[in-house]
Amino acid sequence: MDDLYREVIIEHYKNPGYRGELDPCDIRFEDENPLCGDHIRIDVRVDANNRVTEAAFSGHGCAISQASADLLLESIIGKSLDEVKELTKQDVLDLLGIDLGPVRLKCALLSLKVLKAGVYGLGEASDALVEGA
């Protein structure tokens, strides 16, 4: 029964490394999953070359959404913002190491949606940001 709740997911959910807020920060964006009202905010700091130096998330959500946020932020440290823009749904699924049905996919991709909307400087996050392979 624990396929979905692999140790890495439970571990990142219970002991997230990137939970918190960065004030001030260079990029901040927040959004919710309309399905369940889960809310996530991501703060990012970048250096002069637009490389991510620090990142943090806050808000609330299920184990899948929180663990994916933590894994995602861990993965972008040192990346350029252009590289962050290239991240896809599959990158998040690879980080989680699981396959998800359409409903839980929304949970897993919320953090990527928020991150990319922030990096692109969009007014609102859209599903189009995380669709496709």
Residues in touch with other proteins (CB under 8 A): 1-2, 4-5, 10, 35-39, 60-66, 104, 107
Question: Closer to other proteins at the Cβ: 6 or 79?
Answer: 6
Cβ 95 to other proteins shortest distance, Å: 18
The residue whose two tokens read 């964006």 is 29
Question: Closer to other proteins at the Cβ: 65 or 111?
Answer: 65
Question: Closer to other proteins at the Cβ: 45 or 104?
Answer: 104
Cβ 52 to other proteins shortest distance, Å: 27
Cβ 4 to other proteins shortest distance, Å: 6
Question: Closer to other proteins at the Cβ: 39 or 45?
Answer: 39
Are 113 and 129 in contact by the 8 Å Cβ rule? The answer is yes
Cβ 59 to other proteins shortest distance, Å: 10
